[in-house]
Chains A and B, each alone.
Chain A
Amino acid sequence: MEFLSYLISGICLGSVYAIIALGYTMVYGIAKMLNFAHGDVIMIGGYISFCGFAYMGLNGWVSLLLAMVVCTVLGILIEGLAYKPLRQATSLAVLITAIGVSYLLQNSALLIWGATPKVYAPLIPLVGPDGAPNALRLFDGQLSISYMSIVTMAACVIIMALLTWFTSRTKLGKAMRACSENKAAAQLMGINVNRTISMTFAIGSALAAIAGVLLCSFNPTLMPTTGSMPGIRAFTAAVFGGIGSIPGAFLGGLLIGIIEAMAKAYISTQLANSVVFSVLIIVLLVRPAGLLGKYVPEKV
């Protein structure tokens, strides 16, 4: 029963990583760049939703919506101002810019909200008004799954399903796939590549806002650096699953979450990160393109 409860907390953590990883992987797939500022968009999402319910008196869900709107706009702005001028530049220049944007966001948050951590109220309170835990109790109460965890896991599955539908069925989604394969050919079809990239950042950033709210609901201390570590782990998850692949990000996220939870429970809390990254290294040695990544040989 203990194992099951660790497994569920791992899946739950993994669901958050998966949502973040989906943002990384979509942007990488289409713009062929690693947006290292993605983790910090998560943090901004956390702060905006915090402002929503703590200062503006909004409902938690409305705050989430507000965070999604703000992050979407932020994502489009970041892409338009920082990355778009570098479309022809080397990937190293883009990477360094992304790291710069990451610091810019962290320090802006420090300036606006200060260094003192905010105590974040979970989207669904962990304890009900009567003092009993807000959780689903199974096996005569031996296993308890908080409603927050259920919502998180459901959100991840729904997002994954929606994205799969979007990229395989809609015109814009197909255009995104076309851009990710061959930008020049996509342009010759009449696809506006710049607008498509912008849309991808918008979607990724809206997902980051959701991830921010979920993340802060589990780890209630909100600081300007809140997004960086989960950002890096989710990036790991995206690479693990095969960067550029949507199901890969989902699988990678879940596995990283589960491995992390298991390592914390059965090996050592301090070593959890080492275990996670060791697994990543081993997987990449065996499958360089990641679990579900396609190794595309280049025809010469």
Chain B
Amino acid sequence: MSLLEVNDLHVYYGAIHAIKGISFKVEEGEIVTLIGANGAGKSTTLKTISGLLHPRSGSVSFDGKSTLSIPPHKLVSYGLAQVPEGRAVFLQMTVAENLEMGAYTRPPLEVADSMAKVYDLFPRLKEREKQIAGTLSGGEQQMLAMGRALMSRPKLMMLDEPSMGLAPILVEQIFDIIKDLHRSGTTILLVEQNAQMALSVADRAYVLETGKITLSGTGKELAASEEVKKAYLGG
């Protein structure tokens, strides 16, 4: 049984058919990436999995349980965490408070320990612990958003465009951290426009085009595929 299974999912925004029957799986311990152009439906897919959007039909099961009838705030304690598009850190709260919010569903005694682990991973956040998140740079906010998601000790971490708006050097840093997280055992579902970076870290990948999955394979296969090269890798 896969950790996450999405089956024939259809999502509409009003009359617009945004997701047209996609199916994919994420196995425990994998990094899976969904790549595709702007508007392909990548974020919509993640928002549907985390319960913020409701599909017209199809099924999503996480860790063996169907999640579609579960409100988003309850999914966190099932082990699902999302780093939202555009980071969405709480700009008027301090770094430490943001992390505390990430551990909202966890027992209070565990929080300090999780926070220490996040600070190990992101020493930069430790330095800025008391700072208001709105004053952090884009890269630091991305680290904070990732750290915040880790605070819930997720089984699956979904990342929505972590490279968005970051300088190339920061993008590499963020992807190094994603690799580290993966090595330490976190399963990752990564949504990216930056296909090159995403394919370089992914075990498996799916190409999403206007709401449909058009290609799938291992990260290496897709990185070598002519179609992908032409459409997404500038080759």
Contact = CB atoms under 8 A, between A and B. Distances in A.
Interface in B40-56: 50-52
A273 B115 CA distance: 52
Interface string A150-178: 00000000000000000000010011011
Interface residues of B, number: 27
B76 A181 contact: no
Interface stretch (B92-100, B187-195, B214-222, B227-235): B92-100
Contact of B90 (A171, A177, A190): A177
Given A178-B101, A185-B88, A192 B73 contact: yes
A143 interface: no
A127 interface: no
A110 interface: no
B73 A191 contact: yes
A190 B74 contact: yes
Contacts of A294: 92
26 contacts: A171-B100, A171-B104, A174-B100, A174-B101, A175-B104, A177-B97, A178-B90, A178-B93, A178-B101, A184-B84, A185-B88, A185-B90, A187-B51, A188-B50, A188-B52, A188-B84, A188-B88, A189-B76, A189-B104, A189-B152, A190-B73, A190-B104, A191-B73, A191-B101, A191-B104, A294-B92
Given A178-B101, A187-B52, A187-B73, 20 more contacts: A171-B104, A171-B108, A174-B93, A174-B97, A174-B101, A177-B93, A178-B90, A181-B91, A182-B88, A182-B90, A185-B90, A187-B72, A188-B72, A188-B84, A190-B74, A190-B105, A190-B152, A191-B104, A192-B73, A294-B92
Interface of A: 171, 174-175, 177-178, 181-182, 184-193, 294, 296
